[in-house]
Structure 1
């Protein structure tokens, strides 16, 4: 774990504290009160400008923090996070604030490391200028950025953030892993914070099978787990075949057929062929990950 054992100067800490105080006030309306320490750190973790030239390249959003309180107590969030209720504006403003903060730090000594950033953030919190719902800022004694997990084994209900070319993220939920690949349930649009409630309100009608390479490399990030989302999609997603065009099969019907992973074939009617895009030739359900990213970007444009 990266621990802030480096001594950071006071440069930028008070400016950062004042900026975080504004962010906390802006968030307090949608949240129904001041954010908790955990919620503020969650906002910072998602909004951190990891692509900034001022940082050393070892940051990977969403940053995950581990905090300690005086005298020697680990900070634990006592209530469910309300961050998902926030709109994108809070995260955009936080990104701008943090980009200015790391640029200022880099002007003194570049590049900015996770240790240095967490040290300055700790100073900002301890200033007492940032309103928090559950702890006093002065009570925060330690702050660390946890390293990203090295390996991820996906399970149904896992929520993935897929970077969008225009900024923000596409959101997907893992449905099942079988011989076709990994089935993802997809949601419309993009969001600065993929886990917002709004980002999960509009599922696309048909799951897509793809590979897990971007998950292994960390490009697609596991951001949560919610098995209740599975009910919005088919439990055993099918793939579709064009009429009479499946190799090794004599007949796939007049309008096409759908197949489950166990090999069960089901003829479809004209309405279903039209609905999935099979009749028009726009059907897409098995896509390599780079093509899936392109497909999602085109839909969001």
Structure 2
């Protein structure tokens, strides 16, 4: 074999390795809406409407909103997110952490706007036929306390509300709670069994029809680094929580805000900061929904 042929063969072999690595990375995750949704600003928690035509997310510092953190919405056009715009329901205070209900009728979110019970309260707004939202309604004193309530997650049947709070006596810092719908309001919030610690459990989502919990936990009480954990229900509590094996879900960074795409249940949107692709301070990424299985009895 000539020297030139050897060089060409070696180049082709190295190229095949690089291509395989790139393909493996792309099969694990991809950035969501580069320069439309994920930008140089700090994006947090994205939720896709059940029909898959809209995405709403929070941004801490994107210019053009009402002030503080704001909720933004983009629409699907030619298979791409386009025309990002702030929602009219934004207030001058912090509005964040949205989630569509499974039937698409409601948009749940957290807000520090005036008129609440304390810091951040939980709200919901009706979603109109054209995708616009109506007036925000506070979820009430049974859920909202004098501290902060964050990261609302509604069950598929609309009967259970999962959220994070530092208003109530718990294990320490932010803890995860679940409240039930009584036909008029969410009431009787109770600690989620098995996961709360002295560190902060910030946000979470149910998998496997409530039998598995995917949630974020800080490295220590009040710590800024957060990591996503998976825990399966053993019939009484979510047990044996372990870090989710997503490559950028490390103990040094910030990975949180998991929300299953209601239009594609096998895919999930999370907030984090991968090495590549990367847009800014915090980006939204799409990856495969974990398939861990659990037992009933934890909700």
Q: For this structure pair, what is the TM-score category when the shorter chain's length is used for normalisation? A: under 0.3
| TM-score, scaled relative to structure 2 | 0.27
Task: Name whichever structure is richer in helix by fraction.
Answer: 1
TM, length-normalised to structure 1? 0.27
- Between Structure 1 and Structure 2, which shows a larger proportion of strand residues? 2
